[in-house]
Amino acid sequence: MILIGQYDSPFVRRVGVALTLYGLPFRQEPWSVFGDADRIRPLNPLTRVPTLVLDDGEALIDSHMILDHLDGLVAPEARLFPAAEPDRRRALKRAALATGIGDKAVSLFYERRLHERASDLWVARCRRQIDEGWQALEILLPDAATGHAEIAAACVWRFTSEAHPGLLDPAALPRLAALSERLEATEAFKAIYQPFIAPA
């Protein structure tokens, strides 16, 4: 399998971490949606990452879809999303919150980066969505869990802290801060990481 995208994307990183934890062999192609758009577009018409190219050439184009596929490749007891309800839908909700925060953090970055004058209204809206998303996730976070949802939260936490210095207040979100610190210390997170690099 080939994982396309750079690990400073929290969405690419969560897939790389899952592949590593599952022990599934893969190769990373660190293509950028800006500099390598012409290479990505034939595989993913949305020109987004992550894109996972399977051994038969099929390309999967969304991090949640990719993780659902990967879960099908491992034993049920090894899967990083729970199989039984209500644990499954609760984990899916936490993952949706984490990736939604990631979407808003990316949107906020590009609003400030790509416009000569950022929209104050849009910046305020994104910041509120990010803040309230983190607050909700802090409450919903289970103790000592390490599933797809928690991996996503830690990846988005790292991205947000690097792309928006000062935006996060770890003291206000102690459980999420502790989760991030715990997961960042693991071998999988150390192996699947690159510092945030602002696109040119």
Percent of the chain whose pLDDT exceeds 70: 100
Q: Where are the domains of the chain?
A: 2-79, 87-186
**CA distance linking residue 143 with residue 146, whole number of Å:** 9
pLDDT tens digits, 70-96: 999 999 999 999 999 999 999 999 999
Q: Is 162 within 8 Å of 195 (Cβ atoms)?
A: yes
Q: Among 196, 82, 100, which Cα is nearest to 148's?
A: 82
Q: What is the pTM of this model?
A: 0.95
CATH domain 87-186 topology: Glutathione S-transferase Yfyf (Class Pi); Chain A, domain 2 (1.20.1050)
The CATH code for residues 2-79 is 3.40.30.10
199 pLDDT more than 80:
no
- Judge if 2-79 and 87-186 fold alike in CATH terms: no
Cα angle 96, 118, 154 (rounded to 5 degrees) comes to: 30
Extended strands (E) in 50-170: 51-53, 59-60
Over residues 121-137, the pLDDT tens digits come to 999 999 999 999 999 99
